[in-house]
Amino acid sequence: MKILFIGDIVGRPGREILKEYLRRNRNFYDIVIVNGENASGGKGLTDKTLDELLYMGVDVITLGDHTWDRKEILKVIEHPSVVRPLNFPEDVPGKGFVEIKGLYVVNLLGRVFMKPIDCPFRSIGKFLEKINSKNVIVDFHAEATSEKVALGWYLDGRVVACFGTHTHIPTRDLRILPKGTCYITDVGMTGSYDSCIGVKKELILKHFLTGMPVKFEIAERDVRLYGVSLEVENEEIKNFKMIEFQESEI
């Protein structure tokens, strides 16, 4: 089974480069997973954006700390392709995992430097006890690299992959951990890199220099796609690599 996991899609530029990449490469993959919590204008997911992603060939859309930023999310949170963090309270709308073609895709939200939430370690631990399968990909949407690294070690040998998202900067530590789990601290965003994590850098600089609030606007230059491609057979990883696709290649 060949799987593509794409990091945080930021706004229209991120969606457009994803569309072009999938137009060229969708047939190579059995399952395409994207983090879409920034896909609609940089914050949240709308029904319109969901339809656009599905039309491109995306199979699963994971979320994160911006899950509830748009009221439109309530129109799509129960969609079978949408996954909100598993460690939200059980009685909130949506689900924390989906199963597709024998693969479980789980979304978790970190707690360090984030809003209070149930423990991601205990939440995924209980989940794995229930399903009795290693065929699991975890999207750990977290701020602190230490928390991401710790979860990777906690899950080593228990899932096929643990991929970090949220901080929007690709890290260079994609590897197979000793017990066989594919790990990276952050896949990186799919959006403008002539920016401050997807937002026009001039606005962010003004905010830091003055302390005044600014209206965030999505940057549109130097757009790149980042992700991880992996091949899984009998719960074991056969091949894996980092994917980078740039605006200049279009």
87-131 tens-digit pLDDT: 999 899 999 999 999 999 999 999 999 989 999 999 999 999 999
Provide the token pair at 171: 């890290």
Contact 227, 7 (CB under 8 A): yes
Task: Name the token pair of 115.
Answer: 């809003």
Show which residues are catalytic: 66
Model confidence pTM above 0.85: yes
Integer-rounded Cα Rg, in Å, for the chain is: 17
Q: What angle do CA 156, 136, 109 make, to 5 degrees?
A: 80
pLDDT in tens, 143-183: 999 999 999 999 999 999 999 999 999 999 999 999 999 99
What does the alpha-carbon distance between residue 154 and residue 125 come to, in Å, rounded to a whole number?
9
Amino acid residing at 166: H
Domains and CATH numbers, the chain: 2-249 (3.60.21.10)
The pLDDT tens digits for 208-222 are: 999 999 888 999 999
Report which of 218, 247, 188, 196 is spatially closest to residue 8, judged by C-alpha positions.
188
